Structure 1
Amino acid sequence: MLIQSQDCNDYDQLASDQSLIDVMKHCLNTCIKPAASGVTYVRWGKKECPKGVELVYTGQVGGNSNSNKGGGVNYLCLPNDPENGKSLSRDNDQLFGAEYQTGSYHKPYEMTSNLFNKEVTCSVCYQRKRSTVLMIPGRKTCYKGWTFEYTGYIMSDYKDYSSKEYVCVDKDAEAVDNKTGDENGALFYGVKTKCGSLRCPPYTNAVDVHCVVCTK
């Protein structure tokens, strides 16, 4: 019997099963190209990716208004070069720009104080050398065997407003530009702990929450 495979040499099947197995192994090793690997993640609060990580695009954060009672709850990293759609007549405004609400009461400790009421930037990053990405709340460092991407603080909208997801905002966060408009929309507040059902220790009451993004 003759075994043929594209881009491989032809081989005569020999009598033994082992010979057939050897031929199959050869074709698998030489003819099948491995699939492209890598992972993407959003670096919230930064226009660039960490050193050595490919930038897919940079943009600004968008999300649902803090005053809306329904609709989307996740933040979006919107590119700076959108391909805009057509006019929609019905009233369903849900996509607003996001602003830092990092005044003296809601600012994580290490973050700069000049972000208040400025728009939140973001970048989408592609790490070619990894296959899994993990955001760990409550930590600044990765566990053994994981590679550090960036660290920051857990942020979300204010507890009395519409629900939003928790995201890890870079500790050295920056704004889209120097505009300060207080236009609200989607908002970013520092989040603090509340002991009770949250066990303290190991946690501590009323402190900001670190986070770290790791890949493997």
Structure 2
Amino acid sequence: MWLDNVQFVLVTVIIVVYSHDCKDYDLSASDQSLVDMMKHYLHTSRKEECPPQSKILNAGVTYIRWGKTNCPKGVDIVYTGQVGGNQHSYRGGGVNYLCLPNDPQNGQHQSYDNDQVHGGEYRLDAKTKPSGWSESMGDKEIPCAVCYQKRRSAVMMIPGRQTCYKGWNSEYNGYLMSDHKGHFKKDFACVDKNAEPLDKKNGSGNGALFYPLRTKCGTLRCPPYTNEADILCVVCTK
């Protein structure tokens, strides 16, 4: 309360001094002392409202760009890798997809039966593929990249949109994918609209699978959604 009263008095003094009608008015020593006190008070009482510039410059967020080996222009790449995860028919264990680095530091060989990290594959064909994709992507392993966007404090994936809301910046957009509904559960992943295979190798390893998804009207309201349509997605930061 005392500080509030001091602040009010000092502000009043400064306003009176600087609004004085005499153009040639000079501040007395006591006036200048009050002005300096006010500046010091404002500086010390409000400095926590403005974080140090170094902290702002060092702030950032990370996200995984599924289906690509690089990050968007202007975004730092932490590492590239390939998608991994639990085998699609296993009942227990992890349900999230992993971005496994291409330069792993491998542990000791073990003989126990709990293998949960398999490679990830696109599972699609000519009839079941996102618009614009080639059926040749079917059964190909999936690359990924971990990206670091500087000067951002939040990141989110929005399902059902290909653009971000006002005030948010688009990192990339694509298609929402996951494992088949007849398999055991996996995460939803936003796979880049221009996704690519990890390499040119062929073959089906039946590991952690990525299937295209579509909408189903009923409990899902249509409109605004459309029945049996590709589900778009976008990754946004701010």
Question: Of 41, 52, 62, which residue of structure 2 is paired with 1:21?
Answer: 41
Pairing 1:82–2:101 present: no
Residue equivalent to 1:194: 216
Aligned to 2:9: none
**10, 15, 34: which is aligned to 2:55?**
34
1:1-216 maps to which residues of 2 (within 5 A)? 18=38, 21-22=41-42, 24=44, 33-34=54-55, 36-216=58-238
Q: Which runs of 5+ in 1 are unaligned?
A: 1-13
Q: Secondary structure at the match of 1:34?
A: helix
Higher helix share: 2
Larger Rg: 2
Question: What are structure 2's unaligned runs of at least 5 residues?
Answer: 1-32
- Is 1:106–1:191's contact at 8 Å kept on the other side of the alignment? no
SS at match of 2:194: coil
RMSD: 2.3
Calculate percent identity across the aligned residue pairs. Answer: 55
The 10-residue stretch of structure 1 (32-41 or 167-176) with the greater mean CA deviation from structure 2 = 32-41
Aligned residues between the structures: 203
Shift of 1:26: 9.5
SS at match of 1:57: strand
Alignment deviations for residues 170-209 of structure 1 (CA, whole Å, 9 cap, x no partner): 0110011000111111100000111110001111111110
Mapped to 2, the partners of 1:42 and 1:74 lie a distance apart of: 13
The residue type equivalent to 1:168 in the other structure is: C
Q: CA–CA distance in 2 between the matches of 1:106 and 1:189?
A: 8
Question: What TM-score results when the alignment is normalised by the length of structure 2?
Answer: 0.79
Q: 1:20: how far off?
A: 5.7
Mapped to 1, the partners of 2:77 and 2:55 lie a distance apart of: 23
SS of 1:81's equivalent in the other structure is coil
